[in-house]
């Protein structure tokens, strides 16, 4: 926890110094935060006003209730302690309260993943002075060095007594930070010609979600491998439908009593899938709320307005798979046993 507080103070100090010296200076060029995200992002979290939105979560009734859970109590107390540390420094808190932050997760080797943080200072454009001040922010608890990679300066932060390092580089209005140097280098390699930011599928879902709140983007070609870390082998089949999705964009809003999520996914048209079958079978009405009890934990509606069309699409999909022979054999056996015709009676 002590290391986290030191790291947060360093990040806040960097931003505060940049703001203090350069906020009044015009920006020569501005880089979109998503441009700095390497193409193998598992997920991307885009937070427009991190501290305000974090306050909505940690000071609301929902968070207080979650902390009553034994498993979450210790984590909750540590987060509350960090909140107090930050709020006690009102100058830094007020200074960066509205700075957008983008967090992305990436595979770094084998089954290991790490995070990349992109902080958008909006109006700061020159940061050569930052290195000279970093050591003063935490005294003798950190060593600061630098190196050059593809004409960009990478600053290395070595916390004494700790085995891990933190790396950062500065691109126009952005500060990019990670504990894995490879992610920093990957970001540098593609920031001028970004992959995700120019991906039409990403742009499509990004346009559909609200700008306020917290936005989470899933890149499903990498996300399935990521969640396989947390599920058993026999459960992994439940997530096969993810292969038919390209990106999902989810907007999260939190108030004192409610958490709402809304979003969109785009389908991979080159693959036949159940998701695509349902999508092509029309949009049914959601009427489940009429009969679901008030204390229901969860329900999912995957409706379509025409069962005949859905069934036709389903059989077309099955016909082109290796399970086709078994399916039609079992269907015939079931119809004979029940003396029905699926097409005519259902």
Whether 21 and 166 share a structural domain: yes
CATH number for 108: 3.40.1000
276 inside domain = yes
Whether 184 and 277 share a structural domain: no
Per residue in 296-328, pLDDT (tens digit) is 777 766 667 677 777 777 777 777 777 778 878
Tokens matching residue 267:
């389908």
Chain-centroid distance of CA 214 in Å reads 9
Q: How far apart are CA 164 and CA 161, in angstroms?
A: 9
249 inside domain = no
Whether 15 and 132 share a structural domain: yes
Last residue of a domain, one of 164, 198, 232: 198
Contact in structure between 16 and 96 (CB atoms under 8 Å)? yes
Whether 179 and 39 share a structural domain: yes
Q: What is the mean pLDDT of the chain?
A: 77
Last residue of a domain, one of 198, 227, 250: 198
118 inside domain = yes
Whether 194 and 280 share a structural domain: no
Whether 21 and 106 share a structural domain: yes
Whether 292 and 177 share a structural domain: no
Angle, helices 324-338/307-319, rounded to nearest 10 degrees: 140
25 inside domain = yes
Q: Given CA atoms 147, 152, 153, 154 in this order, what sign does their dihedral have? A: negative
Whether 326 and 194 share a structural domain: no
Other CB atoms within 10 A of residue 101 CB: 20
Domain count, the chain: 2
Contact in structure between 222 and 40 (CB atoms under 8 Å)? yes
Global pTM?
A: 0.74
Chain-centroid distance of CA 341 in Å reads 46
Whether 15 and 129 share a structural domain: yes
Whether 190 and 286 share a structural domain: no
Per residue in 78-87, pLDDT (tens digit) is 667 766 666 6
Contacts of 120 (CB under 8 A, 6+ apart): 33, 99, 100, 101, 102, 173, 174
Whether 189 and 299 share a structural domain: no
Sites in the chain below the pLDDT cut of 70: 1-28, 71, 78-79, 82-98, 122-141, 232-241, 270-282, 284, 300-303, 305, 346
Q: How far apart are CA 339 and CA 346, in angstroms?
A: 12
Q: Given CA atoms 170, 173, 179, 181 in this order, what sign does their dihedral have? A: negative
235 inside domain = no
Whether 153 and 7 share a structural domain: yes
Per residue in 210-268, pLDDT (tens digit) is 888 789 999 998 998 888 777 766 555 656 667 778 999 999 888 777 778 899 999 88
282 inside domain = yes
226 inside domain = no
Last residue of a domain, one of 166, 198, 230: 198
User: What range does the domain containing 123 cover?
Assistant: 2-49+98-198
- CB-count exposure of residue 66 (10 Å: 0-12, 13-18, 19+): middle
332 inside domain = yes
Q: How far apart are CA 122 and CA 120, in angstroms?
A: 5
Find residue 41's DSSP bridge partners.
106
């Amino acid at each position: 926890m002590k290391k986290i507080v030191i790291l947060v103070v360093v990040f806040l100090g960097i931003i505060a110094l940049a703001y203090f010296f350069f906020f009044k200076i015009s920006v020569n060029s501005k880089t979109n935060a998503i441009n700095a995200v390497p193409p193998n992002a598992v997920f991307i979290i885009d937070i427009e006003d991190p501290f305000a939105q974090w306050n909505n979560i940690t000071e609301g009734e929902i968070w207080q209730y979650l902390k009553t859970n034994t498993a979450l109590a210790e984590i909750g107390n540590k987060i509350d302690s960090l909140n107090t540390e930050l709020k006690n420094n009102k100058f830094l808190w007020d200074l960066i309260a509205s700075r957008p932050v983008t967090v992305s997760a990436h595979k770094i080797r084998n089954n290991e993943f790490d995070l990349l943080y992109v902080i958008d200072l909006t109006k700061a454009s020159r940061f050569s002075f930052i290195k000279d001040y970093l050591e003063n922010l935490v005294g003798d608890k950190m060593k600061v060095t630098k190196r050059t990679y593809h004409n960009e300066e990478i600053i290395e932060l070595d916390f004494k007594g700790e085995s891990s390092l933190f790396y950062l580089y500065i691109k126009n209005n952005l500060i990019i930070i990670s504990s894995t140097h490879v992610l920093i280098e990957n970001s540098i390699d593609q920031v001028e010609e970004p992959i995700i930011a120019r991906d039409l599928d990403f742009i499509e879902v990004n346009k559909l979600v609200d700008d306020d709140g917290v936005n989470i983007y899933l890149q499903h070609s990498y996300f399935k491998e990521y969640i396989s870390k947390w599920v058993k082998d026999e459960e992994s089949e439940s997530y096969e439908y993810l292969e038919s999705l390209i990106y999902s964009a989810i907007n999260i809003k939190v108030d004192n009593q409610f958490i709402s999520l809304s979003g969109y996914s785009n389908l991979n048209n080159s693959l036949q899938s159940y998701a695509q079958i349902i999508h092509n079978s029309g949009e049914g009405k959601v009427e489940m709320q009429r009969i679901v009890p008030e204390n229901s934990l969860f329900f999912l509606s995957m409706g379509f307005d025409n069962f005949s069309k859905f069934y036709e699409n389903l059989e077309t999909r099955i016909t082109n798979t290796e399970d086709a022979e078994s399916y039609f054999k079992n269907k015939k056996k079931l119809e004979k046993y029940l003396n029905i015709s699926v097409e005519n009676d259902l």
